[in-house]
Amino acid sequence: MGLSGVFSSSTGLRLLLAVSLGCLLATASPAHAMSVEEREKLDLSEYRVTAPDASYFDVDERKALLRETNNSILLQELDRLKQGPSCRQVMEIPPITTRLRIPGYYPNPEAWELASEPLFQFEDVVSELAGAYIASDDPYYAECLISFLDHWARDDALMDFFYDTSQPQAWFSTESMIFAAAMAYSMIRPDIEGMQEERERIENWLNRLSHKHVAIPGLEENSCCNNHFYRRALYASMVGVLTEDDELFRFGVSAIYSALHDMTEEGAFPLEVKRGRRATHYQNYALLYLITNMQVIARQGYDIFNLQIDGHSIHDAVDFAMKILADRTQLGDMAPREQYLGFLKDEQYFSWMEIYQSRFDNPRIADFLERHRPIYNRSAGGYITLYFMDPEVQQHVVLDEEKKEAAAFEGISAN
């Protein structure tokens, strides 16, 4: 079934949708994950693209702020990124046009990592070029990003990936390539003058690639509806915005409704916490894509962060994640106490926190971010700290330290 068969279209007041549909689903039970069929019955027609040039943050506002900042973390990021990659070198990277086949991660992590290196390289390149443009305001990097993506679009790259329900890794792995490209492109597109043919090819390619991807439903009680669905939703929302494709955009929105419907009373995502020793990791991993997607949707004018279904909002999932990060006993009977915590050493998994904290003041997240900044995620947003961190945060910390030093000095003087 095409996307046009999934979501119907109608007119109405889009700003009332979150309330009306939330009430409609209030009687739904979260005892099971919302199926693909149930998602197809959602009427999300009030969601439509309203600002195709809106990136996932206000680029002009952020660039103006960065020009005035004296925040040492942000200044360090700016200095590091102003000297971006060589366009000549990145243009030598060959597009992936042969049939893409990636081994599964858990059966063989080493083979997965080796096969994934070209994919990671693509994500790093688009993120670095966009970051260099934000840091330097030099059109060289924006134009290079257009040329780089156009090179891949001309060759119809990534369109030929192997998929089987028993071997879905190529499908999984290209998810992040799509939203990495779309998010980077969204930052620079409004400022590009000319290059119209290149932009049309890029947008056509991203749109076709997205439609091909979302046409695969995934397995029931698994990739149809879990974190991989949330990942597909992220590129669907961003590409939907860029190409003014309401059907793709609504597919992205449907993930938020699905996630909130599935949520337990504690704020857990059942399909994530059922992962045993990796329950904590996957609760956090789901938020990485849901929060980022919500930011894209919110930039189109929707109060998605306050959406409630059956009394649950995304804030419940955030609170639960922070609880289990601090104390694994909060998992109760949902998962073992012995949890895999290796992801805590990799700041990319916490890029969602920077976005969330830019909207809401959560002291636990503030403390967590202080230990992990600056945060970079090569696919889900790039240089997230540079784009979202409140410049005043560090100043408050500095002032607190100065007060402590002054108090200590007074104590010494008094003695």
Nearest CA-CA partner of 251 in 262, 263, 239, 269: 239
Of the pLDDT bands very low, low, confident and very high (cuts 50, 70, 90), residue 86 is very high
Helix, strand, coil percent content, the chain, rounded in steps of 5: 65, 0, 35
User: What is the total count of domains within the chain?
Assistant: 1
Give the percent of the chain with pLDDT over 90: 84
d(C-alpha 171, C-alpha 409), whole Å: 60
Nearest CA-CA partner of 40 in 1, 93, 86, 73: 1
Query: Partners of 268 in the beta sheet?
Result: none
End-to-end Cα distance, the chain: 80
Predicted local confidence at residue 335, as pLDDT: 95
Q: What is the mean pLDDT of residues 349-375?
A: 96
Of the pLDDT bands very low, low, confident and very high (cuts 50, 70, 90), residue 396 is low
Of the pLDDT bands very low, low, confident and very high (cuts 50, 70, 90), residue 395 is low
Triad 239, 240, 243: Cα angle to 5°: 80
Q: Report cis status (omega within 30 of 0) of the bond before 374.
A: yes
CB 275 within 8 A of CB 34: no
Q: Please report which helix (H) or strand (E) contains residue 344, including its range.
A: none
Q: Which residues contact 280 (CB under 8 A, 6 or more apart)?
A: 321, 324, 325, 328, 331, 335, 339, 340, 341
Q: Does the pLDDT of residue 55 top 50, yes or no?
A: yes
Q: Does the pLDDT of residue 149 top 90, yes or no?
A: yes
Place of tokens 């069929």: 37
d(C-alpha 263, C-alpha 136), whole Å: 42
Q: What is the CATH number of the domain that holds 355?
A: 1.50.10.100
Query: The domain containing residue 164 runs over which residues?
Result: 3-414
Residues in the chain: 415
The DSSP code sequence of 246-258 is: HHHHHHHHHHHHH
Place of tokens 């695969």: 216
Tens digit of each residue's pLDDT (9 = 90 or more) over 112-124: 999 999 999 999 9
